[in-house]
Structure 1
Amino acid sequence: MSLPDGISLRDPRPIAAESPYTFELPHPEHVAAAREGDLVKAIFVDRDGAYDAERMWMRIENRTAGAFVGVLDNEPSDMVNLACGDPVTVPIDHVIGVFTGDGRELPEVEPRRTYWDRCFVDACVADGRCHADYLYREEPDMTEDGDKYLDSGWRIRGTVGAIAIDKENGDKPRYIAIGAVLNADDRWVDLVDRDHPCAFQWDEEAQQYIELDR
């Protein structure tokens, strides 16, 4: 693989496996459609850079059986060994984004379900220190003008013991993307689209959520 000395690429597949609800790899048909003049994005790492990694675009000049060959099309924020215009090679399985350079449409594919709407969640659940024990959906009331993502109305509580530890440590509930919560605990993913008002309690013996009256 041709990259400047000191530069490497981070494989995005383990990241997608660890955070499947918030890190989305491009559709294989979109990657397959990329051609000369198009842009593909990858995660570049500079052993001497100030940042852990930077996500940047490269412009395709050639495509081999397993990689895109071209030049970096971004100016790195703080890299020592890589600059805009440098030759780079990106394996096809390291691509995290595709953009057509001539404005043509990429192949139409089935839209993927996204989970960017916000919810309130106890820190212990968001951090994976306990499961979502009690959750309910109410009328959304946290969305403000200009917000890109809306309040879903979901409020997610952890176990009693874990919440007590949160209080001792000063860990307050968080207002974050539903997907970030599902990355930690997705046993309730089938409930995400239930309309409000609704409420559910985890039943340890039955190993499922029991719907409660609201």
Structure 2
Amino acid sequence: MREPDFEIDGWCLEDGEARHADAPETFWLPEQQRREGLQPGDFAKLIFRISVDNATESVAVERMWVLVRERTSRGYLGVLDNEPDAIAKNDEFWLGTELPFSAKHVINIQEKDDATVALAREEPLRRWPR
């Protein structure tokens, strides 16, 4: 399963580990063990680069929460749990869109509870291509 690609999808994920390496004093990350041990129902905050139609900028960067649905051989499958501010509502990338990500993308974690575990079992509004 491929990762999101800016040229193909109009958005992609930033590498949180690289950002932390560039500014370790100011860019905090959860411990690697926590980022690699996410379970269905946990939330992971990721950094998204999104193509926008704007006269002053062509790329927006947003930090958004993703609900972990399942673990995969390369990381995780989750669903976007935010509505992007930089773009209008659309059918390709919006709240409920399924997407793959890995531990290197995770910049914050919110632990699961019974309600979020149940929510993770629900069908996404849009599935990621397999």
State TM-score, norm by structure 2.
0.69
Q: Counterpart of 2:51 in structure 1: which amino acid?
A: R
The gaps in structure 2 that reach 5 residues or longer are 115-130
The answer to whether residue 71 in structure 2 is matched with residue 63 in structure 1 is yes
Residue in structure 2 matching 1:85, options 89, 96, 102: 96
Q: Taking structure 1 as reference, are residues 33 and 91 closer, same or farther at Cα in structure 2, changes over 3 Å only?
A: closer
Determine helix, strand or coil for the equivalent of 1:84: coil
Higher relative CO (Cα under 8 Å, sequence separation at least 6) belongs to 2
Q: Is the 1:7–1:45 contact (alpha carbons within 8 Å) kept by the matching residues of 2?
A: yes
Q: Is the 2:52–2:60 contact (alpha carbons within 8 Å) kept by the matching residues of 1?
A: no
Q: Taking structure 1 as reference, are residues 2 and 18 closer, same or farther at Cα in structure 2, changes over 3 Å only?
A: closer
Residue in structure 2 matching 1:54, options 53, 58, 62: 62
Q: Which one has the largest radius of gyration?
A: 1
- Over the aligned positions, Cα root-mean-square deviation in angstroms equals 2.1
Which whole-Å deviations, capped at 9, do the CAs of 1:130-164 have from their partners, x for residues lacking one? Answer: xxxxxxxxxxxxxxxxxxxxxxxxxxxxxxxxxxx
Please state how far the C-alpha of 1:85 moved relative to its aligned partner: 0.6
Determine helix, strand or coil for the equivalent of 1:93: helix
Please state how far the C-alpha of 1:18 moved relative to its aligned partner: 1.8
State TM-score, norm by structure 1.
0.44
Please state how far the C-alpha of 1:39 moved relative to its aligned partner: 0.6
Please state how far the C-alpha of 1:91 moved relative to its aligned partner: 1.7
The gaps in structure 1 that reach 5 residues or longer are 104-214
Q: Is the 1:46–1:82 contact (alpha carbons within 8 Å) kept by the matching residues of 2?
A: no
Tell me the matched-pair count.
103
Please state how far the C-alpha of 1:88 moved relative to its aligned partner: 1.1
The answer to whether residue 26 in structure 2 is matched with residue 15 in structure 1 is no
Please state how far the C-alpha of 1:66 moved relative to its aligned partner: 2.3
Structure 2 CA distance for aligned equivalents of residues 2 and 16 of structure 1: 21
| Same amino acid, percent of matched pairs | 32
Please state how far the C-alpha of 1:2 moved relative to its aligned partner: 4.8
Which whole-Å deviations, capped at 9, do the CAs of 1:27-78 have from their partners, x for residues lacking one? Answer: 0121233101111111111122666310111111111132210210111112
